[in-house]
Amino acid sequence: MSDYHFPYLSPRQTRTGEPNAWQLELANAIEAVFTKGAQELDEVVAGLNQSRVRPPSGGEWTAENFKAVMHELGV
C-alpha cells in the first residue's frame, strides 16, 4: 500500500513532487496575466514578457517556448 491512510484527506493528489520556486513564480505570473484579461496565446506571452519571470533558457517568452514549457509541466 502506498500513501493511503484512513481518513484520506489529502489536498495534494495530482503532483508527484513540490514545484520549485521558478515554477511557483511562473504559475502566479500566468494567473496574474489571465486576471488582467489575457485569453489568446499572444496576449499571454506578451503579459509574461511584462513580468519578472523568464523562460528556462532566459530571454523572451515566445509562443513556442511557452507552449513547450506548459506541455512539459502540464502533463
Partner 1 sequence: MNVATTIDRTRATSTAPTDQQVQAYLRTGLRNRWWPILPSRFIEAGAKPFGIMRLGEPLVIWRDSAGAVHVQTDRCPHRAVPLSRGINEGDRLRCNYHGVEVGPDGTVLKVPGQPGCPLEGKKAVKTYPSREIAGAIFTWFGDALHEDAPDFEPPEQLVAPEYSQFLCYADWEMAWRYAYDNLMDPMHGTFLHANSHTMYQGETQAHFVTRDTPHGFFFEKDGQRDVNFDWSEFVDHDALYVRLEIPYPKSGGPGGNFGIVGFATPADENNLAAFFWRVRKVSGWQRDTWRFLYKTNLEPRHWHVLEQDREILAGVKPGLEKHEMLYQHDAGVIRLRRYLAQQARKQLVELQTAGKG
Q: Which residues bind partner 1 (CB under 8 A)?
A: 1-4, 6-9, 11-15, 19, 23-24, 27-28, 30-32, 34-37, 39-41, 44, 66-67, 70-71, 73-75
Least Å from the CB of residue 51 to partner 1: 14
Distance CA 34, CA 10 (A): 28
Judged by beta carbon, residue 14 or residue 57, the one nearer partner 1 is 14
Judged by beta carbon, residue 11 or residue 58, the one nearer partner 1 is 11
10 Å CB burial of residue 55 (0-12, 13-18, 19+) is middle
Distance CA 25, CA 27 (A): 5
Least Å from the CB of residue 47 to partner 1: 11
Per the document, the length of the chain is 75
